[in-house]
C-alpha cells in the first residue's frame, strides 16, 4: 500500500481510509489516466445528466403540487412541506451508503438497483389514494432511489477524467440535468391543471425511471477504478453490458483492446464493510473539507428554499393557478442551467490560469499530483462577486414580494439567484472531489449530506418564520446568514485550505 502511494506522490491513508476500495483508483502502471475515449466521455456526460434527473426532477416536479396535495390529503401546507423535509433528509443520509457500495461493487449495479427502487416508489405514489402516511413513506423511498445518483455520477466523472478536464464534463452534465428538470414544474402544473389530479405526475416519473434503467443496462460501461482500473480490465460478468458491440464497444476506448490472452486479469472486488459508511461522515470533520462543505450547503440551501417558497408565494400572494405556478419555476431553473454551464467553463479556465501562474504543467491525459498545487485558489478564483450578487438578490426578493412588485421582476430575480447559487454549489462540489481524489463518490456524498441537512431544516422553518417576521425580514435574515457563511468559507479555504490539505496528507 505504502509503495503504491509513494509511486504516485500520495501519502498512505490511515486505517479507516485504507479500507476504501477507491485507494485502488490510482493507476498502478504509467500511462494515460483512462482509456475511455473522448467520444465515450461525451456520451457519459449526457447520459449521466439524464440519469441524475431522478434526483432533481423528482423535487422540481413536486413543488407545484403542494397546494393540491394539501387539499387531496386534507392536511396543512406545513404538513406537505414536511414531505419535502423528509425527502431532503433522505437525500442527505442515503448517498454515503450507496457511494460506498458503488465503490466496491461497481457503479452500474448500484445505479440499476437504485433506479428499480425509484420506479417502484413512483408507481406506489401514483396509486396511493388519501393516505398521508403512505405519501410520507413512498416519498422517502423515492428520495432514497434518486438521491445517490449524483454522487455516483461524480464518481464516474472522476473515474474517466483528469482534474484539469473535469469541468468539461461536469458543466454540461449538470446543465443538461437542470435543463430537463426545468420542465418538471411545467409538467407538474400542466398535469395538475388539466387532470385535477397528481397521479399522472408520478406515472411520468415511473416512465423516466424505466428509460434510465434501459439506458444504463445497455450503454453504461463499468468505470469504477477499483474494478476496471483505467478501463482496460474486463469487468466481472455480472457487471458487464447487456448488449455488447454497437456504440459502446466501438467508441469506449482510445486504443483497440488487447487480445484476450494479454488482457489484464480482473482484480478481486474488495469486500464492503459497515465501517465504510463512516467515510463520508469522517470527511466532514477535516477542516479543509468542512469549509468547502459548508459552502456547498449554504449555496444549495438558497436554491432549495426558493423551490419551497415559490409555489406558496405565487398561489397565495398572486393567486396563480397550478399551471401558472408551474411556469414560475422556469426562470430559476433556466438560471440553474446557465449557472452550470458557466461553472464548468470557469472551473477549467481558472485551473489553467492558476497553473500557468505557478508554472504547473497541465497534462490532459495522465493523473497529476496535486499536493503542492493551490487547487483551492484555482477553484475559488473570483468567486466572491457571485456570492455577493446572490446575497443582494435574495434580500431584495423578500421585500419585493412583501410590496407585491410585478411578478416579472420576481421572475428575473429568480433567474439570477438560481444561476449564482448553482455556480457556487457546483464550484465547491468540484473542489471537494479534487481534494479527496481517491474518494470521489464518498466526498460528494458528504457534500450531499451537509447540503440536504441544511435544506431540510430550511424547509421546515420556512413557514413558521415567514408567519413570525414576514417575507421581507425572513429573506433578509437568510441573505445575511448566506453572506457570512460564503465569506468565511471562501476566505478560510483560500488562506488555509492548502496547508490543511497538506497536513492531512502528511498525517495520514
SS3 406: coil
Q: What is the pLDDT of residue 214?
A: 93
Q: Which tens digits make up the pLDDT trace of 388-420?
A: 999 999 999 999 999 999 999 999 999 999 999
* Pairwise CA distance, residues 321 & 337, whole Å: 25
Radius of gyration of the chain (CA): 22
* Pairwise CA distance, residues 221 & 280, whole Å: 25
Q: How many CB atoms lie within 10 A of CB 210?
A: 15
pLDDT of 5 over the 70 cut = no
Q: What is the pLDDT of residue 275?
A: 66
pLDDT interval class at 80 (50, 70, 90): confident
CA-to-CA dists, residue 343 to 169, 422, 442, angstroms: 11, 8, 22
**Quick check: 18 and 438 in contact, CB under 8 A?**
no
Q: Which tens digits make up the pLDDT trace of 456-471?
A: 788 778 878 888 898 8
Q: Which tens digits make up the pLDDT trace of 93-129?
A: 788 788 878 877 788 889 999 999 999 999 999 998 8
Q: Which sequence spans correspond to the domains of the chain?
A: 23-255+276-507
What is the average pLDDT across 472-489? 93
Q: Which tens digits make up the pLDDT trace of 189-238?
A: 676 667 666 788 898 899 999 999 999 988 888 888 778 877 777 776 65
* Pairwise CA distance, residues 220 & 43, whole Å: 9
Report the topology of domain 23-255+276-507: Growth Hormone; Chain: A; (1.20.1250)
Q: Which tens digits make up the pLDDT trace of 358-371?
A: 888 776 666 667 78
Q: What is the pLDDT of residue 192?
A: 66
Q: Which tens digits make up the pLDDT trace of 274-313?
A: 666 677 778 888 999 999 999 999 988 888 888 788 888 8
Q: What is the pTM of this model?
A: 0.70
What is the average pLDDT across 141-146? 93
Q: What is the pLDDT of residue 185?
A: 65
Q: Which residue has the cell 470533520?
A: 285
* Pairwise CA distance, residues 225 & 408, whole Å: 49
Q: What is the pLDDT of residue 3?
A: 39
Q: Which tens digits make up the pLDDT trace of 145-175?
A: 998 898 899 889 888 888 777 778 887 887 7
**Quick check: 451 and 73 in contact, CB under 8 A?**
no
Q: How many CB atoms lie within 10 A of CB 212?
A: 25
Q: What is the mean pLDDT of the chain?
A: 80
Q: What is the pLDDT of residue 276?
A: 65
Percent of the chain, pLDDT > 70? 81
* Pairwise CA distance, residues 9 & 445, whole Å: 25
Of 84, 53, 469, 8, the residue nearest 306 (C-alpha): 84
Q: What is the pLDDT of residue 196?
A: 65
Residues in Cβ contact with 383 at an 8 Å cutoff, skipping those fewer than 6 apart: 424, 427, 490
Q: Which residue has the cell 425527502?
A: 87
Q: How many CB atoms lie within 10 A of CB 506?
A: 9
Amino acid at each position: 500500500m505504502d509503495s503504491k502511494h509513494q509511486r504516485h506522490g500520495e501519502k498512505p491513508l490511515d486505517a479507516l481510509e485504507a479500507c476504501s476500495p477507491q485507494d485502488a483508483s490510482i493507476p498502478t502502471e504509467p500511462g494515460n489516466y483512462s482509456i475511455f475515449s473522448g467520444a465515450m466521455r461525451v456520451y457519459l456526460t449526457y447520459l449521466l445528466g439524464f440519469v441524475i434527473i431522478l434526483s432533481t426532477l423528482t423535487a422540481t416536479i413536486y413543488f407545484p403540487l403542494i397546494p393540491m396535495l394539501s387539499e387531496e390529503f386534507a392536511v396543512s401546507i406545513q404538513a406537505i412541506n414536511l414531505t419535502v423535509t423528509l425527502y431532503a433528509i433522505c437525500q442527505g443520509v442515503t448517498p454515503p451508503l450507496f457511494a460506498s457500495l458503488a465503490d466496491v461493487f461497481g457503479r452500474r449495479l448500484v445505479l440499476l438497483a437504485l433506479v428499480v427502487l425509484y420506479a417502484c416508489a413512483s408507481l406506489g405514489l401514483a396509486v396511493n389514494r388519501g393516505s398521508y402516511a403512505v405519501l410520507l413513506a413512498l416519498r422517502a423511498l423515492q428520495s432514497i432511489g434518486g438521491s445517490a445518483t449524483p454522487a455516483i455520477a461524480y464518481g464516474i466523472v472522476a473515474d474517466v477524467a483528469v482534474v484539469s478536464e473535469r469541468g468539461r464534463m461536469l458543466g454540461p452534465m449538470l446543465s443538461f440535468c437542470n435543463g430537463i428538470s426545468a420542465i418538471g414544474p411545467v409538467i407538474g402544473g400542466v398535469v395538475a391543471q388539466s387532470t385535477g389530479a397528481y397521479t399522472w405526475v408520478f406515472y411520468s416519473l415511473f416512465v423516466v425511471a424505466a428509460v434510465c434503467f434501459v439506458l444504463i443496462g445497455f450503454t453504461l460501461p463499468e468505470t469504477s477504478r477499483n474494478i476496471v482500473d483505467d478501463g482496460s480490465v474486463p469487468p466481472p460478468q455480472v457487471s458487464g453490458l447487456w448488449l455488447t458491440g454497437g456504440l459502446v464497444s466501438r467508441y469506449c476506448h482510445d486504443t483497440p483492446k488487447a487480445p484476450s490472452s494479454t488482457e489484464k486479469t480482473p482484480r478481486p472486488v474488495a469486500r464492503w464493510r459497515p465501517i465504510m459508511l463512516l467515510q463520508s461522515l469522517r470527511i466532514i470533520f477535516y477542516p479543509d473539507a468542512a469549509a468547502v462543505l459548508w459552502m456547498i450547503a449554504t449555496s444549495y440551501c438558497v436554491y432549495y428554499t426558493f423551490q419551497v417558497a415559490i409555489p406558496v408565494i405565487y398561489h397565495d400572494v398572486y393567486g396563480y393557478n397550478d399551471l401558472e405556478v408551474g411556469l414560475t419555476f422556469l426562470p430559476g431553473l433556466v438560471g440553474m442551467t446557465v449557472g452550470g454551464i458557466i461553472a464548468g467553463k470557469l472551473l477549467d479556465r481558472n485551473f489553467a490560469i492558476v497553473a500557468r501562474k505557478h508554472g504547473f504543467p497541465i497534462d490532459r491525459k495522465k493523473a497529476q499530483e496535486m499536493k503542492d498545487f493551490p487547487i483551492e485558489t484555482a477553484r475559488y478564483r473570483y468567486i466572491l462577486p457571485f456570492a455577493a450578487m446572490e446575497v443582494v438578490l435574495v434580500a431584495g426578493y423578500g421585500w419585493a414580494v412583501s410590496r407585491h412588485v410585478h411578478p416579472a421582476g420576481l421572475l428575473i430575480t429568480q433567474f439570477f439567484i438560481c444561476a449564482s447559487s448553482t455556480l457556487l454549489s457546483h464550484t465547491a462540489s468540484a473542489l471537494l472531489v479534487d481534494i479527496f481524489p481517491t474518494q470521489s463518490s464518498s466526498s460528494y456524498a458528504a457534500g450531499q449530506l451537509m447540503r440536504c441537512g441544511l435544506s431540510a431544516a430550511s424547509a421546515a422553518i420556512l413557514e413558521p418564520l415567514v408567519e413570525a417576521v414576514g417575507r421581507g425580514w425572513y429573506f433578509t435574515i437568510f441573505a445575511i446568514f448566506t453572506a457570512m457563511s460564503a465569506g468565511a468559507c471562501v476566505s478560510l479555504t483560500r488562506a488555509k485550505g492548502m496547508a490543511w490539505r497538506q497536513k492531512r496528507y502528511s498525517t495520514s
